[in-house]
Amino acid sequence: MIRVPIPLPRLPYEVLIGKDLLLESGILASEVIPPDRCAVVTDTHVAKHYLEPTLTSLKDAGFKPTAFVIPAGEKSKNMRQVEDLCEQMIAAHLDRKSSLFALGGGVVGDLAGFVAAIFQRGIPCIQLPTTIVAQVDSSVGGKTAVNTALGKNLIGAFHQPRLVIADLNTLETLPNREYWEGFAEIIKHAIIRDAAMLDLLPSDRTIDLTALIARNVAIKAAIVATDEKEECGVRALLNFGHTIGHGIENAAGYGSFLHGEAISLGMVAALWLSVHHADLPESELHRILHILRRFSLPVTLSHQITIDSILTSMEKDKKNEHGVMRFVLTNHLGSAFVSDKVTRKTARQAIEFLRKERI
């Protein structure tokens, strides 16, 4: 097991990475919070594989868990589901001394983390991420949120977990599409902070990902520790590809794209903008295109999704300030910066670039 510290000044915690960790989740959790009544939030897909062993581990460590299973998929990430979960937890006699375990991918982690942030004005949350996206990105850093019809993650709160337990065995049951989408966030980390990682990406699913996931968590830990609540601009770098990517997710309808697929498209557009506005060599754009295709991630956008619908969604992006769109760009792989120089016209051109057929 690898332990990666998240050295926040107010509430530091660890990310534990290894195999068979769900079987030890109860004892590991009891080291950071006292065993008591707790909620275990998961979805219909994850519950089939991992709910029972997790509940058993928690019970063996003295916790008194109640399971709450939501429908799988991005469409569950909304305020109605938040209200339903809160009411079910109240009915189950959970209170401010209870805790919440988020067992699942990014949707479960974001949704359940937000519920933990607001239930009884905030209860401890432990993240049990079961996808690559969640293990390298969304479970770490305390951002919790739900979507609205107007945009992605527009309602949320910062609520740091007390512990993150990333059991790599859970990746074995992921379908190929859900497995490989996680590499969009890994590639993003390489682009903004660690270009050497691009040479370490696996060629198939048989390769042990322990060291790679730990390396990505360490990247995010360093950024979050510097700018926990995105107040000085450093944490915004983690949104490389997300401005247009989130716009695509919203315009296409939640669930049409997996998160990593939309971010893949957003990164292609951000790289095009970087070539034209940050002097990124065009060869680097084509290098990343080749890598994204290796992982079956999309690099071309269908004409069925209109550019205007994407731009309308982007206008509500959380990084915007005083009505000005802000984009994360790179002038060389391994480094990034936030720019407010991208106009609506050039953003449109970047999306138009996504229309081009590529061999």
Catalytic residue among 215, 259, 318, 319: 259
Percentage of the chain with pLDDT > 90?
Answer: 91
The whole-number pLDDT of residue 287 equals 97
**Active-site residue flag, 277:** no
The whole-number pLDDT of residue 322 equals 61
Helix (H, G, I), strand (E, B) or coil at 162: coil
Beta-strand relationship, 143-148 and 151-158: antiparallel
**Active-site residue flag, 220:** yes
Nearby residues of 131 by Cβ (< 8 Å), 6 or more positions away: 104, 105, 106, 170, 171, 174, 178, 182
Catalytic residue among 147, 153, 216, 239: 239
CB 70 within 8 A of CB 111: yes
Catalytic residue among 77, 220, 318, 326: 220
Going by C-alpha positions, the residue among 295, 101, 158, 132 that lies closest to residue 214 is 132
Q: Is 240 exposed, middle or buried (0-12, 13-18, 19+ CB in 10 A)?
A: buried
Q: For all residues of the chain together, what is the average pLDDT? A: 95
Q: Is 255 exposed, middle or buried (0-12, 13-18, 19+ CB in 10 A)?
A: middle
- The stretch 57-69 carries a mean pLDDT of 98
CB 347 within 8 A of CB 325: yes
**Active-site residue flag, 293:** no
Q: What is the DSSP string of 288-299?
A: HHHHHHHTT---
The whole-number pLDDT of residue 315 equals 85
**Active-site residue flag, 316:** no
- The stretch 170-178 carries a mean pLDDT of 97
Catalytic residue among 45, 77, 143, 319: 143
Domains of the chain with CATH codes: 2-174 (3.40.50.1970), 230-354 (1.20.1090.10)
pLDDT at 321 over 70: no
DSSP code of 122?
A: -
pTM: 0.95
Question: Which residues face 65 on adjacent strands?
Answer: 38
**Torsion of Cα atoms, 295 then 299 then 302 then 307, to 10°:** 140
Q: What is the DSSP string of 187-228?
A: HHHHHHT-GGGGGG--SSTTS--HHHHHHHHHHHHHHHHH-T
- The stretch 66-95 carries a mean pLDDT of 97
Catalytic residue among 185, 228, 261, 284: 185
- Quote the radius of gyration of the chain (alpha carbons, Å): 20
How confident is residue 325, by pLDDT bands cut at 50, 70 and 90?
A: confident
Question: CA of 257: how far to CAs of 18, 161, 247, 261, in Å?
Answer: 29, 27, 11, 6
**Active-site residue flag, 143:** yes
- The stretch 211-226 carries a mean pLDDT of 97
Angle between helices 259-277 and 282-294 (to 10 degrees): 170
pLDDT per position as a tens digit, 287-302: 999 999 999 999 999 9
* Residue 346 one-letter amino acid: T
**Active-site residue flag, 216:** no
**Active-site residue flag, 276:** no
Catalytic residue among 77, 188, 193, 246: 246
